Amino acid sequence: MIKAVIVTEGYKYTGYGHITRCTAIAKAFQQLNNVDVSFILNGDKPALTLLADYNTVVLNWLEEEEQLIERLSACDIVVVDSYLAAETIYESIAETVGTCLFLDDFNRIDYPPGIIVNGTVGTEILTYPSQAKSDLLLGRKYVLLRPPFPDMPPRTFFKERIETILITFGGTDLLGLSQIVLPILTAAYPDVKKYVILGSSFSEANKIELLGDEQTVFFRNVTAEEMGKLMAEADVAVSAAGQTINELGRTGLPTVIFKVAANQENNIKGWIESGFITTYIDATQPWSVDELLDALAALETADIRKKRSLLGQSVIDGKGAIRVGKAAVSSHCIKKMRIAKATDADLIPLFHLANDQEVRKQSFSTNPITLQEHSNWFLSVLKNTNRLLFVFFVCDSFVGQVRMDIADAKAVVSISLQAEYRGLGLASEMLRLALSELKKERIEVELVCAYVKEDNIASQKLFLKAGFLSCDCEKEKTLKYYYSL
């Protein structure tokens, strides 16, 4: 089991956007099956409630660095999401944990070696010239969406007129916009439903509820699932430009955006470039009622809302969190991977792998293998000097195998992985290590060939990525690749 720890922060006066997007990564880790994820939180009680589903330690890690490092000493992967931590803390973390993933929004500091994630639609505006030592996961492919937003169905129906407005300014509403915007909308849209989201840390929630009219419905402490339903029901939204703008874009809800913090600038620009929004209101500066009403008026017609909605839904595919999770796990596994020649102790793991449903499907002989058949084959392989059978481990966990069948100056290669390690890019590293060992042990081998079924797209991509070239194949419904040593 891979141990991952997410280190982040969240207070009423800072907002809880870090925690929200970190839960998206946590969910992705859980989907990978072999990752145990927990949190170290510098935050208040409302922040802690957002992490009720996870093992969480509350620690002011910005001031208790020694305790932080001690708690991280036994973990394999660390994710750090902070606007406050100094470079020295990041450096200490990187020296302690083998695989580090740093969430960033505006190239805040010179990060130590690791994986830098900037899942901002406007990330292309930024450059990371000093981060060549790190892997960069930038842009819309890595937008972090909490469930259920990655799987939201497309918006296909648009009412002729605006009937419902969703008003949401995050978990804290730092600038108090809810109590400014709601009276404006009750006056301008008396016949329109107003759904107002009151976050867990709204200090003026009771006062805000007094500002509504008969068409206003208030929602306190909504879950992600409830928020998704409200976005699906609404015709337009008025929102801050934090993490919520990504959820609004994913659901295709046309939105009037308020900038409430400097670090939202790039995300706003990215969404403007996409066409989902055309302008925004800068709430960090004086703004007018007309700005809000003009922006809403621009969304009155169904055709305009449909156009904006389709543009928004086309930006994010919802797979950002799982891509980030896989990148972290892949980095850890590659760093910890070791290759060895198969021994008697590997008989049973290889037997189970050989009978894996996907392995049998992609094999040229698809029938199940009995233990006796496998034992006979396995013992013959160990005795055959013209067969090299390599096994791979991450720490003590069995990952997969690569076999080389050698005849004269040619070797035929086959490869298979355990189910929980597929899709992480580990096959390329296994193949690289196996080819390196082949060069050392059998210097007479000049050519390595691979035979792949026509429908085995993953293996085709693997061998092409590894530098193999395609060639004519003497077998039907089979593709052949070769590699010159």
User: What are the chain's domains?
Assistant: 2-142 (3.40.50.11190), 149-313 (3.40.50.2000), 342-484 (3.40.630.30)
Residue 134: pLDDT band (50, 70, 90) is confident
Q: 118, 131, 464: which is closest to 323 by C-alpha?
A: 118
Of the candidate ranges 116-130, 215-229, 432-446, the one whose mean pLDDT is the lowest: 116-130
**Model-level pTM?**
0.88
- 396-448 pLDDT tens trace: 899 999 999 999 899 999 999 999 999 999 999 999 999 999 999 999 999 99
Pair of tokens at residue 228: 């998704």
Cis preceding-peptide flag for 148 (omega within 30 of 0):
yes
pLDDT at 125: 56
> CA neighbours within 13 Å on the CB side: how many for 49?
11
Residue 132 pLDDT more than 60? Answer: no
CA-CA distance, 214 to 198, in Å (whole number)?
A: 17
Amino acid code (one letter) for 127: T
CA-CA distance, 171 to 234, in Å (whole number)?
A: 19
End-to-end CA distance of the chain: 36
Pair of tokens at residue 66: 């020694």
Residue 354 main-chain phi, psi, to 5 deg: -60, -30
CA-CA distance, 149 to 322, in Å (whole number)?
A: 13
- Would you say 464 and 470 are in contact if contact means Cβ atoms under 8 Å apart? yes
Pair of tokens at residue 56: 């969480």
pLDDT at 81: 97
Three-state secondary structure call for residue 160: coil
Three-state secondary structure call for residue 177: coil
CA-CA distance, 182 to 188, in Å (whole number)?
A: 10
CA-CA distance, 125 to 458, in Å (whole number)?
A: 33
**Helices H, strands E: what count in the chain?**
17, 20
Of the candidate ranges 120-124, 221-225, 375-379, the one whose mean pLDDT is the lowest: 120-124
- Would you say 197 and 278 are in contact if contact means Cβ atoms under 8 Å apart? no
